[in-house]
């Protein structure tokens, strides 16, 4: 027997054990600290929800199941009321929520690692994977002037001009869609949960913007095929605070958001807990969306990991008996 001092994240653990047990305990402590010291609200899979609920409610492993199903009769309202004193102490405005962005990249997310996650307007204005690809294919944007250039041809992409779709051509409708994506729906779009990321449109193959662009004419249609052939799908997992999300991630209206904020986030607390419990029991909706505020930037320090999309997909589907 020897005395071992384990120093993990400035914590000292002193034990008299054999060297084999020392190695095992060291691994256990590292994994425990990785899981335990981060109060991230995470419903990306049932295990993540399980860990968050146990940590929040200060329960031992497995205690939640007995407490919720047996003692609270599988009744959410009863459970919520019983633990309301703890739940009401959650610092909502400083709570970090885990979301993930599905993308495709030709350089294993090097641009995101360098700059962070930005909205579409910024991406089209800077030296990024997407902007370089578009320029190589003779597609350029003047974001300020609301003009798109394909070769020498200029297109007006001010989507406000194309709202009356009953009296305009089909081409103008397509220009409206492109302009809408750049000037209205340009925020970072993500998920809090998605059962199968391959079932949600084609975002794992090409960005939504290229999908909109590809429908304009034969030249832009080639962009979809080219991008898909040269890029690989990735999931970018990150953390953000409530202020970084748009109100419609959690509420039906801005008024509901403001009223709940003044009411100490009573509705949001209930929503977060109910979604976490649903996730833990694998009962979540197929997709739970996360819309970032238009000016939100996800910096590198807030990005948790970059995961190949196929690996992410398999890790989630296994909870639902799928491959």
pLDDT at 113: 97
Q: Do 25 and 76 fall within a single domain?
A: no
Q: What tokens does 284 get?
A: 């979540």
Q: Do 7 and 113 fall within a single domain?
A: no
- Give the domain extent around 9: 1-37
Least Cα distance to 52 among 88, 96, 20 occurs for 96
pLDDT digits (tens, 9 = 90+) for 5-43: 544 444 455 566 565 555 555 555 545 444 444 579 999
Q: Is 163 contained in some domain?
A: no
Q: Is 156 contained in some domain?
A: no
Strand 40-41 relative to strand 96-105: parallel, antiparallel, unpaired?
parallel
pLDDT at 218: 85
pLDDT at 9: 41
Residue with tokens 């832009």: 220
CA distance 156 to 168: 14
pLDDT at 34: 46
Max Cα–Cα distance, the chain, nearest Å:
86
Q: Do 228 and 308 fall within a single domain?
A: yes
The three-point CA angle 280-281-285 to 5° equals 90
Residues of the chain with pLDDT under 70: 1-38, 163-172
- Count up the domains in the chain and report the number: 2
**pTM of the entire structure?**
0.85
Kindly give, in sequence order, each residue whose CB lies less than 8 Å from that of residue 280, ignoring residues fewer than 6 positions away.
46, 49, 50, 53, 64
For 29, the 3-state DSSP assignment is helix
């Amino acid at each position: 027997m020897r005395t071992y001092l384990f120093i993990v994240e400035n914590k000292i653990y002193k034990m008299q054990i054999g060297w084999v047990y020392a190695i095992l305990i060291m691994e256990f402590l590292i994994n425990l600290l990785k899981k335990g010291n981060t109060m991230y609200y995470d419903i990306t899979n049932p295990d993540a929800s399980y860990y968050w609920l146990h940590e929040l409610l200060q329960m031992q492993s497995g205690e939640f199941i007995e407490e919720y199903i047996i003692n609270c009769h599988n009744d959410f309202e009863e459970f919520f009321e019983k633990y309301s004193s703890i739940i009401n102490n959650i610092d909502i405005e400083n709570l970090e929520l885990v979301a993930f962005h599905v993308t495709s990249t030709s350089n294993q997310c090097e641009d995101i690692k360098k700059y962070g996650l930005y909205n579409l307007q910024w991406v089209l204005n800077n030296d990024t994977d997407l902007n370089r690809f578009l320029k190589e294919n003779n597609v350029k944007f003047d974001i300020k002037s609301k003009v798109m250039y394909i070769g020498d041809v200029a297109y007006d992409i001010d989507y406000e001009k194309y709202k009356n779709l009953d009296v305009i051509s089909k081409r103008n409708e397509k220009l409206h869609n492109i302009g809408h994506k750049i000037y209205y729906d340009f925020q970072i779009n993500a998920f809090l949960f998605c059962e199968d990321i391959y079932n949600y449109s084609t975002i794992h193959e090409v960005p939504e913007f290229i999908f909109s662009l590809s429908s304009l004419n034969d030249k832009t249609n080639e962009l979809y095929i080219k991008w898909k052939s040269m890029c690989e799908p990735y999931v970018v997992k990150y953390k953000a605070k409530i202020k970084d999300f748009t109100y419609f991630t959690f509420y039906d209206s801005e008024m509901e958001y403001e009223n709940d904020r003044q009411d100490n986030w009573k509705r949001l607390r209930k929503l977060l807990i109910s979604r976490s419990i649903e996730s833990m029991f694998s009962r979540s909706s197929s997709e739970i969306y996360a819309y970032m505020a238009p000016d939100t930037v996800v910096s590198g320090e807030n990005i948790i990991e970059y995961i190949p999309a196929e690996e992410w997909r398999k890790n989630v589907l296994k909870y639902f008996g799928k491959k």
